[in-house]
Homo-oligomer: A and B are copies of this chain.
Amino acid sequence: MSLPQSEGPDSQGPHSPLPRRRTGIPEATVARLPVYLRVLGGLAETGVTTVSSDALAVAAGVGSAKLRKDLSHLGSYGTRGVGYDVEYLVYQISRTLGLTQHYSVVIIGVGNLGHALANYAGFASRGFQIVALIDSDPRRVGEDINGLEVRHLDELETVVKEHEVSIGVIATPAASAQDVCDRLVSAGVTSVLNFAPIVLAVPDTVDVRKVDLSIELQILAFHEQRKSAGPPASLEVGAG
């Protein structure tokens, strides 16, 4: 019940090389730092001041060697024979990820998913401030969600510029997603988180990450199929 963990193998998205601009930090490491950060936060709350790579690795579900190598990319912040100072490490990881600054986020599409996102407390907790909710449906415009008024799509450019939005979250139907994305990019947004099931085309100065539920399920299905096909070793499902 506490095995090395078999988390989602990876996935997220097919993507271009990303030649690692000037950073020495590998993408794979960047993707894990937020996990370490979250675990460290939990430790700090329970009063722990120091943690070993082994303990942290177990809590984060990775191997300890990998964890140490990851941390070594930010510098030498551990003490041999002791471990890492929790508070200091939190600071260093935050700094590395750029979380010492704050980011303005706009959510486009306030339907089922957009509503959930707008009510989600996990945004603000790391310095991501939702500054606007936008929808194209006039019936939704004006609605108050979690203290923010829904604004019309026409105001997208105004809002982006006014609040210096750097991150756009797309939660519209797939059919509108590319249009919305283009407008975000034109308005100056350089990072997009996309929930619509479509591959967005963007200039390569813009980062896109996607969250696709359906893909996750299909990956699970693949492994599920394998499990049921393998072990029994006889007794087929018949219906070929």
Contact = CB atoms under 8 A, between A and B. Distances in A.
Interface of A: 1-16, 18, 21-23, 27-28, 30-35, 37-39, 59-62, 66, 96-99, 101, 103, 105, 112-113, 115-117, 119-120, 122-123, 125-128, 166-167, 182, 190-191, 193, 197, 199-227, 230, 237
A174 B102 CA distance: 24
Given A220-B209, A223-B207, A15 B22 contact: no
A199 B60 contact: yes
A176 to B, nearest CB: 15
Nearest to A15: B7
A116 B114 CA distance: 9
Given A98-B221, A193-B216, A221-B103, A13 B8 contact: yes
Copies of this protein in the assembly total: 2
Contacts of A37: 218
Closest 3 CB pairs of A and B: A98-B225, A8-B209, A7-B13
Given A7-B16, A9-B31, 16 more contacts: A5-B200, A6-B207, A7-B12, A15-B61, A30-B219, A38-B197, A38-B214, A97-B218, A98-B222, A98-B225, A103-B221, A112-B119, A116-B116, A122-B213, A191-B224, A193-B217
A202 B6 contact: yes
A15 B5 contact: yes
A199 B22 contact: no
Contacts of A116: 112-113, 115-116
Given A30-B219, A33-B218, A230 B8 contact: no
A7 B123 CA distance: 21
